Chain A
Amino acid sequence: MNLDCKHVWEHISEYLDGTVDAKLREDIELHLEHCEICSAILDSTRNILILTADDRTFELPVGYSKRLHERLKEEIEKSKQEPRVGEPE
């Protein structure tokens, strides 16, 4: 089946996640072979996802981990007065 561009766009996200069924995947790939526009849209979207997953894009505040573990340490110390962790309060 020949898909039109709009149909391909509707499935870009699922296509990238690998959750489209085999037939649709085949149709999309056939379309991509001949459509520079859709190929570029697909590639740009994929690259946005790569960039999103890159740790340098979304950074944690400086000292976040240290402060978190300090707070946790206090809590653990406090809980040592109790017999076990995780009991209902």
Chain B
Amino acid sequence: METNEAGLIARILAGEKELFHELIRPFERMVYLTLISVLKNETEAEDAAQETVISAYRHLAAFRGDAKFSTWLTSIAINEGRKRLRKAKGAAEESIEEQEEGHEGDFTPAPLTDWREIPLEALERKELREALRSAVAELPDIYRQVFILRDLDALNIEETAQALGINPGAVKVRLHRARMMLQKRLVPFLKTTAPPRRVFFGRAL
């Protein structure tokens, strides 16, 4: 844990309560994105993000310094999100947390030959961002959650596993599949937006 973070926490617990604003600031974005990955609704995610932060404030004394503060906070966010899902979907859907990746499905990437040379300017395209947003939103829940924690919130494999209550092996499998699904989804889009490029070596693929 960052020394500064540990110092802030100690001071907050000792009575400088306003410092919690400062403690939470670097993680605001992470909390929101975590919740959007679970709830898929902006208003709900914002509301749940507020609850998460309040809950972290109230239970700060229960935070043990052996975990990272970000991981602890993410776990609270995941629990808050899942609680809301259960409430919304009713008791019928108790299996939310027990979803598992099946072995069916095609998780191979899509071949492309015309994007490779134009990476950075392609990334500036607004349409590409939009396409990526929709593609992420449409990922199956278990893949989207892992992808967001790992590739947006920048948690590592272990932390992602801990926050979601699954094993690190499952995180790796889901992450790989999520990334391949996104690659596949975005390739047709990239092909249409990429500037025309000569085919080298007469290779069609």
Contacts and interface: CB of A to CB of B under 8 A. Distances in A.
B15 interface: yes
A44 B181 CA distance: 12
Nearest to A16: B179
Nearest to B150: A17
Contacts of A45: 109, 179-180, 182-183
B53 interface: yes
Chain B contact patch, size range: 35 or more
A51 B57 contact: no
B198 interface: no
Given A40-B115, A44-B115, A85 B60 contact: yes
B50 A12 contact: no
Interface in A42-89: 43-45, 47-58, 60-61, 64-65, 67-69, 71-73, 75-76, 79-80, 84-89
Contacts of A1: none
Interface residues of A, number: 49
Contact of B172 (A13, A47, A84): A13
A56 B46 CA distance: 18
A22 interface: no
Contacts of B83: none
Interface string A15-52: 01101000000000000000011011101110111111
B132 A51 contact: yes
Contacts of B63: 86
A4 interface: no
Label chain B's interface by main secondary structure: helix
Contacts of A61: 32, 42, 46
Interface string B83-117: 00000000000000000000000001111111110
A53 B152 contact: yes
A32 B190 CA distance: 21
Interface string B163-189: 000000000100110011011001100
A69 B62 CA distance: 22
A34 B109 CA distance: 18
8 contacts: A40-B116, A47-B115, A51-B123, A58-B152, A72-B57, A73-B21, A76-B20, A86-B60
Interface of B: 12-13, 15, 17-18, 20-21, 24-25, 28-29, 32-33, 36, 42, 46, 49-50, 53-54, 57-63, 108-116, 119, 122-123, 128-129, 132-133, 136, 147, 151-152, 154, 157, 172, 175-176, 179-180, 182-183, 186-187, 190, 200, 203, 205
Interface of A: 6, 9-10, 12-14, 16-17, 19, 36-37, 39-41, 43-45, 47-58, 60-61, 64-65, 67-69, 71-73, 75-76, 79-80, 84-89
